[in-house]
Structure 1
């Protein structure tokens, strides 16, 4: 199975956004710059993440993206499904029922064994992704990364994050 480059970009962006302070945001263009990606290409994936509820898109001149929920509640499966869609990677076309050796439909009452095996593998893959939390990925990076890489990434986030004005609650107005 081959996932699109957008999945890698989406996971890296979500991990970067996990380091943004509080309600601050980060512009998509800054994340595109950080990973050497085309802004228009990355924005497509950031918008998919926002539409799926992984990210929140904040409009306006001080806007950008931030996590829609805590990193502990975002899994790699959430991100993969947002970018790649919910359909299984393997889709059986029942080609065994075509061609010159095909038989009457009654010969194919049992499910295709290949399809069953592929769907079993898909379930295992999705289960593993559902167990991998964004917060765990970020924590592993913080403890295992070269300190220079970690410091450079933190400095990039600090430099590019956009603080958001906190709206007073109705009782404070």
Structure 2
């Protein structure tokens, strides 16, 4: 199974946003820069994550993106489905019914074994992604990654996050 490149970008951006302070945001352009991606390409995927309520888009000069819910409540399946859609990767077209040796529909009362096997694999794949929490991935990175990589990532977040005014200090 091949997932689109947008899935990787979406997961990395969500992981980066797990490191912002409080209600701070990071601009989409900064995340595009961090991963060497086209801003317009990345914004399309960030918008998909916003529609799926994984990210929150904050407008304005101090705006950007932040997680819409805690990282421990976001799974890789949430992100994959937001970017790739909810359709199964394999869609049976019942091609066994085509061709010159075509039989009457009554010859195909049993479900297609290939379709059944592929759907079983899809179910296992989705179950594994549903168990993988964004918070666990970030925690593993912080613990196991090369310290230079951790320091560079944390410095990037600190440099690009935009603090948001708290509701008590906002003017009406």
Q: CA deviation at 1:165?
A: 0.4
Residue number in structure 1 paired with 2:125: 125
Say which SS state the counterpart of residue 9 (structure 1) adopts: helix
Deviations 1:122-145 (A, max 9, x none): 000000000000000000000001
Residue number in structure 2 paired with 1:3: 3
Say which SS state the counterpart of residue 65 (structure 2) adopts: strand
Counterparts of 1:80 and 1:144 in 2: how far apart (Å)?
24
Q: CA deviation at 1:157?
A: 0.2
Residue number in structure 2 paired with 1:100: 100
Residue number in structure 2 paired with 1:91: 91
2:39 pairs with 1:39: yes
2:29 pairs with 1:29: yes
Deviations 1:31-82 (A, max 9, x none): 0000000000000000000000100000111100000000000000000000
Counterparts of 1:22 and 1:101 in 2: how far apart (Å)?
64
Counterparts of 1:94 and 1:40 in 2: how far apart (Å)?
38
2:16 pairs with 1:16: yes
Counterparts of 1:89 and 1:58 in 2: how far apart (Å)?
33
TM-score (norm 1): 0.97
Counterparts of 2:33 and 2:157 in 1: how far apart (Å)?
12
Q: CA deviation at 1:110?
A: 0.7
Deviations 1:88-113 (A, max 9, x none): 00000000001111100000011100
Q: CA deviation at 1:168?
A: 2.2
2:91 pairs with 1:75: no
Counterparts of 2:17 and 2:102 in 1: how far apart (Å)?
53
CA-based RMSD = 1.0
Counterparts of 2:33 and 2:22 in 1: how far apart (Å)?
22
TM-score (norm 2): 0.97
* Structure 2 unmatched runs, 5+: none
